[in-house]
Chains A and B, each alone.
Chain A
């Protein structure tokens, strides 16, 4: 693979000698003049890239230790500041595990793309940690999460129906990001990353505006990007539900004192349920039957819907949009030519090839649309089921999927490690 890149490079270099017109002969200097040497500064060294992976591993381990063993919000907060400084401002927010999802998908579908090992590690390490310890990555390692976490001032508790609806967006976002990355239409997670402009202290107006808006909103709705947009969060949420160990509010046993009830800004604490009559068997069976009909129906209908949109969706791909422009011009529907079509025509490539390539992309998007629609239908269906299902809680319990392991609730619990109730005067936390 690598060899191919080099061979094409070699080919290109030898071509460039012939292709570029040497209109004027090379001068034959008499005065002993020496030509200057073109400077070619190297990219950031590979050692530093691996150092980043090392830092990621270290910060992940420390945060996990601080959350699980030390149970200290202050230490977690310190890690958060470090992550904002290092992964945010120093490394300029790139590459981050959130965006790496796309690189992984792209390399799955595109054998020509040699995905750097560092990117693979950035993708995997947080997932593996989450599978064992819950979302400690989100707690203090992710720069996007950390930057939102430090602006939480007066978090409101959202009504359940609203957060359920909003929490569908990450699935949609992830689904489309995977679809676009798999057909090579681009990396939309990076394109609409709201905080990277902030880390680089430059960026387009839209980017800065979106980031500013989310941060402002984040003062009253804690971590809006994490909860209602982040596509990587979907995977972390799933993995965290299955985690071997997860942080708990109480270090030993819950005494249902209600002190922690409102401590979580993300509404990730379940209250104990009041004793209710267990569900009727018939109702249960009826619901299962309903689900069995509803799920496939939703999957097929949303698959059909999204695949029908394949033309506008595929036009995000540069080849497809170029083909569309060429068609417009050839049919005389558009008179002024664009840079892109001009460049294409000047290069003398065949339009038939271009159209064939564009058509192939469109077909891929069509198929992908069915899969994506099926996936989203499944998710929506499951969410519906979960809304109607009744789950009993006997004590104050963390929702393992939604909990970001931020550590805020720990200090609210008056029970110590040995199960003794201690009266603490200072329950203030940052």
Chain B
């Protein structure tokens, strides 16, 4: 069989080759890499509110929650995101609410306007209100991955099961895809785009 010295020689030769190969891979990958991080986000314009976001996150309380672009909200009295379609009364009674956990707070502002605020602690990210708001309202309610909760899995479990393929990786500096004026926040941050 192979003599020990020949084995050593072969080993060190292969070792150097492996080192070089690693260096080559490192070089190539570095040319593709960015110093920033990437995070998961869902595109609310593609989302169909299938309710999978509520159950498919690896966290038992989903990282996806409903957010509200107040700049787009009509502050409607007859809010189709808040009220059950055939609701008897336009009030805060639980049976009239679309949200299964009662996470939306309705407050009278002035005639005829009502403000709707999401209590994120209660929201489970089911998107029922989003569907309602999008169907008959202004579409100011939408779902987003909340980055204070998301653990940024290498492969997002919701992304994998999202029927509309609404999830994608986005740069961590612009971690939200928001509707309305709120969305401008993450565009304004980038100086090169302001010109």
Question: Which residues of A come within 8 Å of B, CB atoms?
Answer: 1-3, 5-7, 9-10, 12-13, 15-17, 19-27, 29-31, 33, 35-38, 40-44, 46, 49, 92, 94-95, 99-100, 102-104, 107-108, 111, 113-120, 123-124, 127-128, 131, 186-187, 190-191, 196-197, 200, 202-204, 238-239, 241-244, 278-279, 318, 322, 338-340, 342-344, 346-347, 389-392
Most interface-central of B39, B136, B137, B183 (chain A CB within 10 A): B183
B85-93, B94-102, B121-129, B149-157: which one contacts chain A? B149-157
A340 cross-chain contacts in B, Cβ below 8 A: 163-164
Return A130 CB to nearest CB of chain B, in Å.
10
Knowing A13-B183, A92-B151, say if A120 contacts B33 (CB, 8 Å). yes
Q: Mark B8-44, 1 if CB is under 8 A from A, else 0.
A: 0001101100110010011011101111111100010
- The reply to whether A242 and B15 form a contact with Cβ atoms under 8 Å apart is yes
Choose one: A27, A42, A238; the contact of B18 (CB below 8 Å): A238
Knowing A43-B152, A114-B32, A200-B58, say if A33 contacts B110 (CB, 8 Å). yes
Return B41 CB to nearest CB of chain A, in Å.
10
- The reply to whether B18 and A46 form a contact with Cβ atoms under 8 Å apart is no
Q: Count B-side interface residues using an 8 Å CB cutoff.
A: 81
Return B76 CB to nearest CB of chain A, in Å.
6
- The reply to whether B110 and A30 form a contact with Cβ atoms under 8 Å apart is yes
Choose one: A40, A114, A186, A190; the contact of B33 (CB below 8 Å): A114
- The reply to whether B48 and A342 form a contact with Cβ atoms under 8 Å apart is yes
Return A277 CB to nearest CB of chain B, in Å.
12
- The reply to whether B187 and A13 form a contact with Cβ atoms under 8 Å apart is yes
Return B111 CB to nearest CB of chain A, in Å.
9
- The reply to whether A102 and B154 form a contact with Cβ atoms under 8 Å apart is yes
Q: Mark B158-195, 1 if CB is under 8 A from A, else 0.
A: 00100111000111101111111011111100101100
- The reply to whether A116 and B160 form a contact with Cβ atoms under 8 Å apart is no
Is the C-beta of B131 less than 8 angstroms from some C-beta in chain A? no
Return B66 CB to nearest CB of chain A, in Å.
11
